[in-house]
Structure 1
Amino acid sequence: MTSKAPSGHFRHLIIAGVLVTCFTAIFYIYYKPSMSWMPCTDKPQPDVCTEACLNVIANKTENTQEKMQAVTTVEPSKDHLPEIVVLIWYWPFGEHFDLNSCESIYGIKSCRLTDDRGQFDQAHAVMFHIRDIGGDLPSLLAMSRPPRQKWVWMDMESPTYSPKLIGAEDLFNLTSNFRRDSDIWIPYGRLVEISDEDEPFQMPQKDKLVCWIVSHWNDNHRRVGFFNEFSKHINVEGYGRHFNRLIDPQDYNKVMSSCKFYLSFENSIHKYYITEKVFNPMRLGTVPVVLGPPRENYEEIIPKDSFIHVDDFQTPQELAEHLKALDQNQEMYERFFSWRKDYVAKSSVFGQEHACYICDHLRKFRSFSIVKDVNKWYFS
């Protein structure tokens, strides 16, 4: 008697059973890879798994191996960053500095500083000290440069003593100076958190009440007019060329630290123009009495109770009387140094710090940029 072929309904049941079996196997391959007792594992049963089922298992195993290899791949070391080259077109005021200091002093790696103009085409940035450009401006305007190379306008003089580069309003891509709104901000000094390497602060011995070191004397300066009235009411130890009392560089720290107060009077008053005249006294344990931009500018970079601003007093005489009172109250005087428990004052290195942080900026920001009318930005 000839057997009958399975009915259509029966064939559907067989196909459904095989699919369920394969689905179950694939499920356990994905979620229970260690359970080898199920069909269609790494030792498949040919009487149960179809070829399609076995292909799924093979692909799964292959993908798993690729993922494992990807996980164990070692990423490139951050110690091998691509080198950034910064060309120093002019040494600022002719003063040279160590070209190999970015990593050792500032922790900025893979930065190469050079003054070799033969490497112009390889430089990622060129730093121009604008005080030294002078008659070279026409040749700079005519130069052809790599399209991605950044030209950096760098200056630390106030606008009063800086030249306007007429015709070069759009020549530069970045700015670097003491202005908080420059691209690479480099103040004349900083307060940084104290470290274990720093000596605990001890108040220096004081034998002078008020001191001032000045060589650049101009009767039209606000500081000169203020001093002429102020000195009528309090004794000021004057040093520098104007007072015919020059200080040997080796004696500077000793003289400065022996003064209770120092007249940190800027030669011109501009936004954020706060110079070493403030940071050197703070570094050496002397309270700066400042004449410059508004108090708000100072308070952005040094504690509000670490200095005295002349604008807080109605007259120079009122300021003089206040300093005399502080001289008689040691507890009040020492409050000006409360910040020394947590911070130390550091002076910036002119030119060197700019070049290194230009390098750091270029590594972090690679987008297109241009300074539209640098003269309007700086001299307005």
Structure 2
Amino acid sequence: MNSTFLVLFLIVTCTSTVVSLIFLYLTSQHNYVTVVPANQDRDFPAKISTSTNQSRPINVTSKPRHPLILYWGLPWGAAGYTPADGTMIDDCYVTNDRQKLSQSDIVVFHYTVINKRLIPWKLYRTADQVFVWWSAENPAILKHAGVDLSLYDGGFFNWTWTYRLDADVYRGYGYRGKVIDAVAKGTKAIDDVIKKKRKLAVWFVSKCGATRGAQKRLEYSQKLVEAGLDLERIGKCFNNQHLMPKGSKNFRETLRQYKFYMAFENSINCTDYVTEKFWFNALKNDAVPVVWGTPKRDLLRVAPPDSFIHVEDFSTPDLLAKYLNFLNRNQTEYRKYFRWREDESITDEKMISMIKEKYPDVKPLERPPSICEKFLANRGRKSIESLNKEFILSNPKECYELATNHKGA
């Protein structure tokens, strides 16, 4: 009996050894290198957890049934910018664990988490994976930060995920369809908005002059003040940052006292660049945005109709100041900038129809797909030969110019 068990044991052991040798041989012929263990790559932690919230578990023993999105590191090294492990975005799972690289269908690189230390890429990659470059910053800010996009020339990235409408996946700061769901609607709601108005105009700003745009917007705001506009300018640029309202509730309550918010971007004519200054500071806090920097035509594609005032419509700062002062005295005319909210049944589709009717040559952005929806619908293969050409040089030169003598970021 004992000899029989011994023979069986030897047979099993030999078979296992042969199978292991065959496996090692086959894997040695693979063109792709498996992921480097985290302790050999000290640029990023092995596993990044950004939340303690409950999430759905991922089966780590085999490739998930749903597509898997891997976020490669934390933007700026800070938590809160990426979903928690196990979160589902539409029909895709999310992970922040780089050890799941070989399981991942989409690998997202924020511009702050990839650099020349990882190029050339020597980790795992297959032709079916989609490598995505993610940035919410405009070209001038990237240039000021010393970001060299030429490192990725030759097709390292497949998609861009940015605020631009021609990005492979749109990730803007806002969208009319979302903002309409975030604000109160109806005649009474607008009555309440108007009743809270105590002051004329405000601008919170702390980036003073790193870019040419940041420098020019300060100059423009000064001309508005000189033209007689009662504009409160608060922040580091005016050495009164202590006046900045503290806490989100206080911030919002403060903003809602003002009729206008200066949504002045830190860049000039960067394609589709519309930030939280417009969406959050102004629209979501019941102030009419006065826009400088974003091309008006780009803004018409994404904003609620007749919801903003643009400096392009005024030949001089003096004329703009006079118009704002006129609206301050005329509640009926001022109220027209809230008409998009007076209809309680307003929808994104209705607003799109309104834009098309008033601006026939403008193509409004319709609900953009998520990165998961884009992946599931994608039927082609793309690689980006030059991020620099696609994201930087496709803008007017003034978009990515830096200031000659700037005060800081």
TM over 0.5: yes
CA distance 1:132–1:287, change in 2 (3 Å): same
CA distance in 2, matches of 1:277, 1:210: 14
2:237 pairs with one of 239, 242, 255: 242
CA distance in 2, matches of 1:228, 1:291: 13
CA positional deviation for 1:216: 0.7
CA distance in 1, matches of 2:150, 2:75: 21
What is the CA deviation profile of residues 274-314 of structure 1, one whole-angstrom value per residue up to 9, with x for unaligned ones?
Answer: 11111111111110000013211110011442111111111
Counterpart of 1:208? 199
Q: Given residue 158 of structure 2, which amino acid in structure 1 is its aligned partner? A: N
CA distance in 2, matches of 1:168, 1:331: 54
SS of 2:176 mapped into structure 1: strand
Counterpart of 1:273? 273
Counterpart of 2:134? 154
CA distance 1:195–1:292, change in 2 (3 Å): closer
Matched, 1:116 2:97: yes
Q: Given residue 160 of structure 1, which amino acid in structure 2 is its aligned partner? A: A
Residue pairs, 1:75-94, within 5 angstroms:
82-93=65-76, 94=78
CA distance 1:374–1:197, change in 2 (3 Å): closer
- Point out where structure 2 has 5 or more consecutive residues left out of the alignment: 1-63, 349-368, 394-409
Q: Given residue 199 of structure 2, which amino acid in structure 1 is its aligned partner? A: K
Q: Given residue 204 of structure 2, which amino acid in structure 1 is its aligned partner? A: I
Residue pairs, 1:1-380, within 5 angstroms:
82-93=65-76, 94-96=78-80, 97-99=82-84, 108-109=90-91, 111-138=92-119, 141-162=121-142, 163-169=147-153, 170-192=155-177, 200=186, 201-202=189-190, 203-204=192-193, 205-218=196-209, 220=212, 221-232=215-226, 233-243=228-238, 244=240, 245-250=243-248, 251-269=250-268, 270-280=270-280, 281-340=282-341, 341=343, 342=346, 357-380=370-393
Counterpart of 1:16? none
SS of 2:207 mapped into structure 1: coil
CA positional deviation for 1:143: 3.1
**TM-score normalized with structure 2 length:** 0.65
What is the CA deviation profile of residues 77-103 of structure 1, one whole-angstrom value per residue up to 9, with x for unaligned ones?
Answer: xxxx94010100022222334326865
SS of 2:131 mapped into structure 1: strand
Q: Given residue 273 of structure 1, which amino acid in structure 2 is its aligned partner? A: Y
CA distance in 2, matches of 1:284, 1:196: 10
On the 8 A contact 1:264/1:291 being kept in 2, the answer is yes
Q: Given residue 326 of structure 1, which amino acid in structure 2 is its aligned partner? A: L
CA distance 1:190–1:102, change in 2 (3 Å): farther
Counterpart of 1:8? none
Q: Given residue 190 of structure 1, which amino acid in structure 2 is its aligned partner? A: Y
On the 8 A contact 1:191/1:343 being kept in 2, the answer is no
Name the stretch that deviates more: 212-221 or 280-289: 212-221
CA positional deviation for 1:144: 3.9
CA distance in 1, matches of 2:235, 2:253: 15
CA distance in 2, matches of 1:224, 1:196: 30
What is the CA deviation profile of residues 104-138 of structure 1, one whole-angstrom value per residue up to 9, with x for unaligned ones?
Answer: xx6x13x1111111100000010000133234342
RMSD, aligned α-carbons: 2.4
Q: Given residue 176 of structure 1, which amino acid in structure 2 is its aligned partner? A: W
SS of 1:141 mapped into structure 2: coil
CA positional deviation for 1:141: 2.8
Percent identity of paired positions between Structure 1 and Structure 2: 30
- Point out where structure 1 has 5 or more consecutive residues left out of the alignment: 1-80, 345-355
What is the CA deviation profile of residues 250-283 of structure 1, one whole-angstrom value per residue up to 9, with x for unaligned ones?
Answer: 3111111111001000001211111111111111
CA distance in 1, matches of 2:333, 2:182: 28
